């Protein structure tokens, strides 16, 4: 008896070419339609075309041809076998099994179909069914059913079956998640279409804290199981636990697409949608440099989710930046410090805290933050410039500090600067000074005037804030500037005699 696994359907393109030429000749000589019908039979069948498309990797086209072949002849076992091959190429194991069952109903002795079934059943983790199929192959004899071929496969399936039972035991009774993971990794490699093994592994991964890998398994489960609302809910909750509100929202929407009335999914959807909106609004305000306005949004987000540490870590850098940029230096230092406990190398928080330290005139601490950030990003121009500026400000603070002269913070407004100047100038005006040494009053008054000149001029103030004194003769000689207006030739006003009058504009 012929071995059916060796049967092939071949198509010779040369025959088709000659047939076409023959049809032209028949038409020219006006021969009978019966001859034409005979020639047309040389055209390739749907099965032939399906096999050709399969060989070229055009699976969709192959399936179309094979569907047509089976419609024409539903009892052609080879058409079903080829279609099973196409389904497998698309990862549609269940459809392939259905076709292979039909093949074996039509031709029970077709060993190639049984071998293919063993492979598919193993991928699904159906070990008992696969072992039964191997037994039938053994009974059929031939090379495929020989001891050398069958026994290794039977032993492998038996080991996999034992590993599955052991993994279940370790998970349910021993809570040995690491041990279970070792077994489940090997099982999923051999049985990638088994949903139960992936469920177990996702649970073990969550228990051991490997959330990103657990996400991968849960995503696979949403593909392996139809209408998997529970899978989408678990996936959304896991993303939420990882503080990925965008992805959590996307997955919970998939759950509600399958079942709009799913209570657990709808409840979680409302919460994550609200949190996502608050965080996005805060980020938009940061992008628009509306730092003071972003703080209430971030506080609202923390009220929506007050317990999850991952979200606190997500909000901390944003809140640190908003407070630092909105001149809330002390509060910024506190928030940034709390955030850096969990994320000690976060560059943005280190920079924002350094800027807050500079505003509080804690120059040494600002330098330390810039140096810490530079350890992980030595080539950063921003960090190097920031460190250079912090060192200049430290050096400057050891000389003359115009903010201190007027008794102001570095965040002082123009109105605050003018108010402080008027008050001090009136107090230390040499003609009105009621204290002791008038020379000290003159010196103090000169410093007050210099502070007013620098801090009320945006360009000079910026220069001073960058660590350079625009009225320092030495620095200005290096920069090519003019220096302090009182730096050469003494104080320009004569307080001796009665002709001098100093006028204030209030």
What are 203-230's pLDDT values in tens digits?
999 999 999 999 999 999 999 898 999 9
- Residues 330, 343 contacting (CB under 8 angstroms): no
Q: Hey, how many other C-beta atoms are within 10 angstroms of the C-beta on 230?
A: 15
Position 435 pLDDT exceeds 70: no
Instruction: Report the C-alpha gap between 388 and 395 in whole angstroms.
Output: 11
Query: What's phi and psi for 275, nearest 5 deg?
Result: -65, -45
pLDDT at 197: 96
The token duo for 237 is 């909750």
Position 153 pLDDT exceeds 80: yes
Mean pLDDT of 36-54: 76
Position 503 pLDDT exceeds 90: no
Position 238 pLDDT exceeds 80: yes
Tell me which DSSP letter residue 324 carries: H
Please choose, from the candidates 399, 335, 393, 405, the residue with its C-alpha nearest in 3D space to the C-alpha of residue 365: 393
Instruction: Report the C-alpha gap between 122 and 476 in whole angstroms.
Output: 82
Please choose, from the candidates 117, 119, 118, the residue with its C-alpha nearest in 3D space to the C-alpha of residue 99: 117
Position 66 pLDDT exceeds 50: yes
pLDDT at 164: 96
- Residues 445, 425 contacting (CB under 8 angstroms): yes
- Residues 322, 295 contacting (CB under 8 angstroms): yes
pLDDT at 477: 61
pLDDT band at 364 (very low <50, low <70, confident <90, very high): very high
Alpha helix ranges (H) inside 90-176 = 93-106, 111-123, 127-140, 147-169
Name which of 352-356, 375-379, 480-484 the model is least confident about: 480-484
Name which of 54-68, 343-357, 402-416 the model is least confident about: 402-416
The token duo for 9 is 């359907």
Position 3 pLDDT exceeds 70: no
- Residues 262, 238 contacting (CB under 8 angstroms): no
Q: Mean pLDDT in the chain?
A: 85
Q: How far is CA 316 from CA 58, 68, 97, 343, in A?
A: 52, 62, 54, 10
The token duo for 250 is 């996307």
103-121 pLDDT per residue, tens: 999 999 999 999 999 999 9
Position 22 pLDDT exceeds 80: no
383-420 pLDDT per residue, tens: 999 999 999 888 877 778 888 888 888 888 989 999 98
Q: How far is CA 331 from CA 110, 287, 309, 335, in A?
A: 78, 21, 20, 6
The token duo for 124 is 């699904």
pLDDT at 505: 43
Does residue 227 come out as left (phi exceeding 0), alpha (psi in the -120 to 50 range) or beta?
left
Q: Higher pLDDT residue, 135 or 438? A: 135
- Residues 310, 279 contacting (CB under 8 angstroms): no
Q: Please give the domain boundaries of the chain with CATH numbers for all domains.
A: 4-161 (1.25.40.10), 300-398 (1.25.40.10), 402-479 (1.10.287.110)
Mean pLDDT of 177-206: 95
Mean pLDDT of 166-182: 93
Dihedral of the CA atoms 194, 196, 197, 202 (nearest 10)?
A: 120
pLDDT at 436: 66
Instruction: Report the C-alpha gap between 33 and 18 in whole angstroms.
Output: 18
pLDDT at 41: 53
Position 260 pLDDT exceeds 60: yes
């Amino acid at each position: 008896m012929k071995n059916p696994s060796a049967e092939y359907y071949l198509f010779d393109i040369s025959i088709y070419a000659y047939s076409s030429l023959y049809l032209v000749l028949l038409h020219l000589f006006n021969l009978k339609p019966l001859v034409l019908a005979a020639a047309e039979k040389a055209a390739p069948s749907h099965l032939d075309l399906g096999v050709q498309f399969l060989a070229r990797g055009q699976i969709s086209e192959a399936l179309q041809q094979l569907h047509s072949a089976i419609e024409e002849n539903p009892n052609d076992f080879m058409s079903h076998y080829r279609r099973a091959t196409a389904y497998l190429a698309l990862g549609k194991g269940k459809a392939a099994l259905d076709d292979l069952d039909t093949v074996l109903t039509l031709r029970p002795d077709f060993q190639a179909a049984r071998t293919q079934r063993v492979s598919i059943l193993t991928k699904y983790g159906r070990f008992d069914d696969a072992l039964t199929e191997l037994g039938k192959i053994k009974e059929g004899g031939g090379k495929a059913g020989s001891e050398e071929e069958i026994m290794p496969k039977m032993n492998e399936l038996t080991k996999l079956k034992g590993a599955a039972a052991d993994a279940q035991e370790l998970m349910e009774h021993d809570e040995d998640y690491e041990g279970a993971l070792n077994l489940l990794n090997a099982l999923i490699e051999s049985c990638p279409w088994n949903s139960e093994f992936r469920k177990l592994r996702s649970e073990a991964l969550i228990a051991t804290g490997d959330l990103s890998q657990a996400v991968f398994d849960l995503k696979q489960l949403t593909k392996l199981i139809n209408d998997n609302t529970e899978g989408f809910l678990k996936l959304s909750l896991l993303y939420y636990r990882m503080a990925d509100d965008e992805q959590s929202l996307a997955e919970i929407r998939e759950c509600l697409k399958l079942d709009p009335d799913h209570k657990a999914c709808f409840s979680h959807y409302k919460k994550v949608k609200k949190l996502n909106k608050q965080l996005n609004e805060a980020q938009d305000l940061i992008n628009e440099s509306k730092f003071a306005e972003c703080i209430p949004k971030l506080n609202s987000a923390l009220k929506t989710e007050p317990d999850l540490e991952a979200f606190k870590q997500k909000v901390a850098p944003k809140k640190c930046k908003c407070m630092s940029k909105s001149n809330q230096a002390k509060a910024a230092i506190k928030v940034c410090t709390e955030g850096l406990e969990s994320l000690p190398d976060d560059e943005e928080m280190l920079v924002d805290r350094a800027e807050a330290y500079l505003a509080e005139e804690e120059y040494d601490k600002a330098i330390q933050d810039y140096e810490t950030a530079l350890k992980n990003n030595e080539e950063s121009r921003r960090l190097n410039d920031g460190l250079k500026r912090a060192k200049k400000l430290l050096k400057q603070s050891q000389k003359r500090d115009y903010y201190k002269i007027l008794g102001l913070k570095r965040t002082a407004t123009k109105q605050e600067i003018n108010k402080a100047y008027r008050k001090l100038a009136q107090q230390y005006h040499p003609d009105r000074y009621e204290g002791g040494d008038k020379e000290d009053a003159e010196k103090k008054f000169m410093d007050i005037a210099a502070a007013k000149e620098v801090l009320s001029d945006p360009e000079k103030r910026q220069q001073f804030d960058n660590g350079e004194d625009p009225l320092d003769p030495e620095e200005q000689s290096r920069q090519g500037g003019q220096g302090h207006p009182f730096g050469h030739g003494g104080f320009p006003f004569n307080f001796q005699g009665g002709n001098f009058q100093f006028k204030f504009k209030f």
